[in-house]
Structures are given as structure tokens and as C-alpha cells.
Structure 1
Amino acid sequence: MRARISGKPLLAVAAVAGLALLAAPWATQRMRELPVVFAAEAPADSADAPASGAIAPTPSAAAAARTPAAPSTAPRAQSDLRREFEDTPDLYAYAQRLQPAARNGDPEALWLISRVYDYCSPYALAPTAYARDTRLIGEMKLRGSESMVAARDRVSRRCARFLPEDDLSPQAIWVVREKAAEAGSLAAEAALLAADRPLAQGPEYRADLVDRVRRSQDAEAYAALSPAMGVAAAGEPMLADKVAGTQFAELAWQLAACRLGLDCGPDGALMTNYCANGGICSQDPQQDFPSFVYDAAIPRQGAEVVNEMVDSLVSE
């Protein structure tokens, strides 16, 4: 049996998972202060129509007809905005600063706002319960408790200005990420595929997206795509010649993201999400993601295979 913290399973093994996909529609009473805002366009008689002013999906053509803007294929360093996402002590204020650009349809601003939602949702849904569970985890004195408490405290500090009435829930993430993808965010498009909500259907589209991510050398696109490249891709003929179809393949895409500039340090969002939300924590508070993976998830005889996969993914 697996223990549960605030309705989420506390995983007992060091399994590899993708970044969480959670999101946040904003309460109307705080709309002027909060991040990206879209006018609701759902039918008036819809039982599920959101309150006026909340983030809501805009009707679009069939998924197969959607054509995202073509992103640059040149390798690129992490932008200042991406770096700030990892470093800022106040993600609420950071999201506010992104609001004007997001309202104008800037793909990077939309993508980064969705990352803020991802990171802060577990805390913002119920801050009091989150703090209580953090205390309980510490009191358990189990192996990994100290690391998990530190990760959850880090989330609490960075997300402290979000409130329950912000109603951070899964629905808005799809709206924001779809808009980001359609505007040209390759990372957002990859995240949608990994969540089984692709912009278009069919094996040809999936293979083309994998190729575009590979050519982009975009660290966040690699990380976002990684869950789709693990066992979820097993048996996919169009991906047979790619790094895909095994747990090692999923790890290889994440490790390649680290090489390409993703913050994979002990306090980065990747390690924090694994530990704070999944209970998958390193016993060494200074250990980065690659070191942790090779210690905990890859048998010695598999390390060379994974290294070769990573080398192939980062080669130009």
C-alpha cells in the first residue's frame, strides 16, 4: 500500500516520471493582479462555462488543422526569463511580470506561466493542508523525510503569495499550453504530446514533433517531451529509429536536457518536483539530477547504453 499526502501517492521507488501537468484558472476578484487573462468564450448555456474573466479555452479548428508557428531550430542557451523562473524567490510576482507579454500571445511568456502553475499548484490548492502534510512528513523521520521537507518548504516559500481562491486546477494548463504551442512554443507543444493532448493526431505528426525537438536543442522541449519517449512510445513504428520506447530512453531525454542547459541542480524545479510531489528524493542534498539518476535509477550495466543515447541526442 502507498501512503497518500493530500490525495497524492507518496511513491516508494525511484521511478522516472515527467514533469507534472497542473494548471490554474484565476479567480475573478483578483483578476487585475494575476497572470495571463483570456476572455471566456464558452457558450452561455454551457454548464461548465467559467466565470467571466477567468482563463477559458477559445474555440479552435480541429486538432489536425492546427499549425503552430515554426520555432527556431538553432541550439540556444537558457533565456534570462527561464533562468529567472528557476532563481526567483517569488513566483507570483514573476508571473505578474509575464502577463503583458502573455496577453499579446508571446509563446515564451505563456509557456513560463504554465510552468509557474505546474510548480505552485500542489501548494496553492490548499496551503494550510500542504504545510500540515509537510510537518507530518518531517515527524515520520523516514528515510528521505528531511529531503522531502526541504523540497516542500522551497515550494511553499516560492509560491507563498498564491491563495486557494486562485483555484489552481488542471483545466487552465491545457488552455495556456495550447495557446503557447500554437504561438510557437516547442516546449509547450512537446508537453501537450506527453500529456496525450497533442495539437494534431497521427504517428506522422508525433515523429515530426520529435524531429523538431531534436533539431531545436531546446532543453525545456527535451524535458517536456521525455515522458512521451519512454515506454509510452514502445511499439511505435515511426519512432523505431529514435531514442524511444524504454525507461532508459525517457531518462536519456531528461539527461540530454540537463546537458543542454536545463537547471538540473539540487534546488532546480526538476529535482524539486520529483521530491516534493513524488517523494523521489536524493539522500544527498547536494546531488544533482544526473548523479541521482545514475545512482538510483540506472543499473551499472545500463549506464553505457544511456550515455550513448544522451550523446546521440545532444550531437548536432
Structure 2
Amino acid sequence: MALAPTLKTWLLVLPAVAVLGVAGYRASGHVGSVSSPVAASGLPTAQVAGNEDGTTMPVMPEALARRLAAFERGGALPSGLPLDIRADIEGATDLFAYAQRLRAQADGGNHEARWMLSRVYDYCAQYAVDPGGYRLDNNVLAGLGLSAAPAMVDARERVAQRCGGFVPGDKLGAALVLAERRKAAAQGNLAAEAALFAEGEPLHDSADYRRGLVERVRLSRDPEAFMALAPGMGVRAAGDSALDGLVAGEQLSEMAWRLAACELGLPCGADSVLVNSFCANGGICSQDETQDFRDFVYDAAVSRQGAGKMNEWIKRLIGRGSRP
């Protein structure tokens, strides 16, 4: 039945009621002279918003969710200002606030801000679709007793903490990410254009365009563009004659572009968004929490014989090799 909630939803009903009650009680202590109404059970009821005529209306669920998310993140350090368009995706503790600042600049015509906004949406989408279910899944993962589970749970908890301001009504997902990237690419953002190509949605579909785009990315030495292009340069590129002679078409050629992005300055440390995303969203986690992306690739994905080939590919891309 369309109106019947899933099992996951039913399991969340009672815990959600309890959390809302406790959070409402704790939050009420921060509301100056406004007294919180108390129900017969002794638990405070939800605050209500007032209309101009003095009547009241219930707080909308998503507005309440944002308030609770902000309260939950109260112990986190605030994101710094002024906005550092690229760096803040790594350092910001509140990606919802960061996205709001990016949105303001993107709406003013800043295509770099729009590209980074698409990255935030991509990073937070799995959480935002169903925050309660996301946390429930974490509990299930933690209870499985698998050796790889703790690392993935930790990575997912970090995503939940940083993305806590988003709610399902924000409609984060592939459609929104693609829409923002199309806008950024149309405004001239190379990383967004590369991402569209990698996702099978290129601005143009001619052989000359595909080869020209790859060459433009390589010559740009922009680490964001390198990383965005990478997924389209692996096995997806196999058989594309437009890319003959380029670093493309093999499983490890994608990793060569990714490692080249790291060499060009993209944050690839153990606590980077890149490593966190691979683990939280893809389940690809290092058992060594101090291992950066480059070491993880050479340790887990590249054979001893393949390391030499990888280094040669990276030299072709950026003029110098990567440390094996």
C-alpha cells in the first residue's frame, strides 16, 4: 500500500518521539522568558509559530528537523568566514551553512561556487534522503561484528554530523547534482564540465569534443577538474577511439587521474572528503585510519608490477610521478 510506511519507518516512530521530547525539553532551557507548554505526560510539547493575527500554527516537520539538527551540532565549531570556496568543503563543520553561503554566490553568477555546491549535495545526498534511516543503518552496521564495519560507521557518522542541517525536502540526489553541474558547466566551469562527461552527460557528444575536453583538463592542472574527470577515464572509456593514446580505458587509469589530482594539490589525506566519501558512501575503507588516499591506492589496488605503470601514467598527466 502506498500509505503504509516501510519497516524502517515503523522502527523509527517510537525512538523519534522520545528524541523529539527530550530535545524539546533541553532546547526549552535556552529560550529566555518564553515558557514551554507541558503536556499531561510531563513532557514539553512542540513549540508553535505565531501568525500576524496572534493565532498559532504547528511548526512544520522540516523546520523542526532543522532546529533539532542545529541543536545536535551545538558542540561543533562554527564554519569560518569569509567563505573559502574550495577549502571549506574540507574544514567546514556545518555543510548546510556552507551550502547556503555557496548558494548566495552561485545565484550571483559565481560558477566556482555552483560547482562546489554540487559537491556538497553529492557528499550529503545519502544522508539527506533519510536521516533517521541513515542512523539506523549505522546501528545495524555496528552490530554486524564485521572487521570492516567500525571504519565505515565512523565515516558515516562524520557525514551525518557535517550534513545534519539537510532534510529530505531539500531533495538532494543525482537529479539536483546534475542540474547544478549543468548550470556551472554552461557558465564555463571546467570541473563541472568534466564531471558531466564522467557521468555520461557530456555537454556535447562528438569525438572531437571528448578528446578536446580531456586535453583541456590535463592542461589546466586543476585538481578539481582532474578528480571530476577520473571516473570517465577508467573502463568506461574502453573502446572510445576519441581517447586513443591518452591515459584512459583501463581500470587503473581512473586511479592515475585521481592520484594526479592529489599530486596537484587536492586534499587526499586520511581525514579528507575524498577518503571519507570512498568509505562512507562506497564502503571502500582503509583499516589504517592514518592512511591517505595515495598510500591506500598503492596498498590495496596497485600491484608491485603495476606501480611502475601507474607512475608513468601520472608523469604523462602532470610531468612528474607519484611516490609509490
Normalised by the length of structure 2, the TM-score is 0.72
Within the candidate set 114, 130, 133, 1:129 is matched to 133
Q: Any idea what SS the aligned residue of 1:81 has? A: coil
The answer to whether the 8 A contact 1:105-1:180 is kept is no
State the one-letter code of the partner of 2:156.
Answer: R
Aligned equivalents of 1:163, 1:172: Cα separation in 2: 14
Q: Do structure 1's residue 314 and structure 2's residue 318 form an aligned pair?
A: yes
State the one-letter code of the partner of 1:289.
Answer: F
Aligned equivalents of 1:144, 1:217: Cα separation in 2: 35
Q: Which residue of 2 aligns with 1:141?
A: 145
Aligned equivalents of 2:308, 2:162: Cα separation in 1: 37
In the TM superposition, residue 130 of structure 1 has moved relative to its aligned partner by: 0.3
Normalised by the length of structure 1, the TM-score is 0.74
C-alpha distance after superposition, 1:104-126 (max 9, x if no partner): 22110100100010010100110
State the one-letter code of the partner of 2:105.
Answer: A
C-alpha distance after superposition, 1:54-75 (max 9, x if no partner): xxxxxxxxxxxxxxxxxxxxxx
Q: Which residue of 2 aligns with 1:165?
A: 169
Q: What are structure 1's unaligned runs of at least 5 residues?
A: 1-5, 7-28, 34-78
Q: Which residue of 1 aligns with 2:14?
A: none
Aligned equivalents of 1:87, 1:305: Cα separation in 2: 34
In the TM superposition, residue 219 of structure 1 has moved relative to its aligned partner by: 0.4
Q: How does 1:49-128 map to 2 (within 5 A)?
A: 80-128=84-132
C-alpha distance after superposition, 1:37-62 (max 9, x if no partner): xxxxxxxxxxxxxxxxxxxxxxxxxx
State the one-letter code of the partner of 1:287.
Answer: Q
Q: Do structure 1's residue 233 and structure 2's residue 233 form an aligned pair?
A: no
Q: Do structure 1's residue 175 and structure 2's residue 179 form an aligned pair?
A: yes
Q: Any idea what SS the aligned residue of 1:82 has? A: coil
Between 1:234-243 and 1:86-95, the stretch displaced more is 234-243
Identity value in percent: 50
State the one-letter code of the partner of 1:207.
Answer: R
C-alpha distance after superposition, 1:271-304 (max 9, x if no partner): 1111111111000001000000001011111001
In the TM superposition, residue 167 of structure 1 has moved relative to its aligned partner by: 2.1
Q: Which residue of 2 aligns with 1:210?
A: 214
Q: Any idea what SS the aligned residue of 1:215 has? A: helix
C-alpha distance after superposition, 1:209-240 (max 9, x if no partner): 00000000010110110111111111222211
Q: How does 1:240-251 map to 2 (within 5 A)?
A: 240-251=244-255
In the TM superposition, residue 166 of structure 1 has moved relative to its aligned partner by: 1.7
| Max Rg structure | 2
Within the candidate set 270, 279, 285, 2:274 is matched to 270
State the one-letter code of the partner of 1:229.
Answer: M
Between 1:169-178 and 1:205-214, the stretch displaced more is 169-178
C-alpha distance after superposition, 1:152-206 (max 9, x if no partner): 0110000011112222232111211001001111000000000100001111100
Q: Identify the structure with the greater helix proportion.
A: 2
State the one-letter code of the partner of 1:282.
Answer: S
Q: Any idea what SS the aligned residue of 2:143 has? A: helix
State the one-letter code of the partner of 1:279.
Answer: G
Q: Which residue of 2 aligns with 1:254?
A: 258
State the one-letter code of the partner of 2:116.
Answer: L
Within the candidate set 280, 290, 295, 1:286 is matched to 290
Q: Which residue of 1 aligns with 2:193?
A: 189
Aligned equivalents of 1:122, 1:237: Cα separation in 2: 35
Aligned equivalents of 1:192, 1:238: Cα separation in 2: 17
Q: Any idea what SS the aligned residue of 2:87 has? A: helix
Within the candidate set 150, 175, 180, 2:154 is matched to 150
Q: Any idea what SS the aligned residue of 2:142 has? A: helix
State the one-letter code of the partner of 1:97.
Answer: R
Which structure 1 residue ranges, 4+ long, deviate > 6 Å from structure 2? Answer: none
In the TM superposition, residue 141 of structure 1 has moved relative to its aligned partner by: 1.9
In the TM superposition, residue 81 of structure 1 has moved relative to its aligned partner by: 1.8
Q: Any idea what SS the aligned residue of 1:131 has? A: helix
Higher relative contact order (CA 8 A, sep 6+): 1
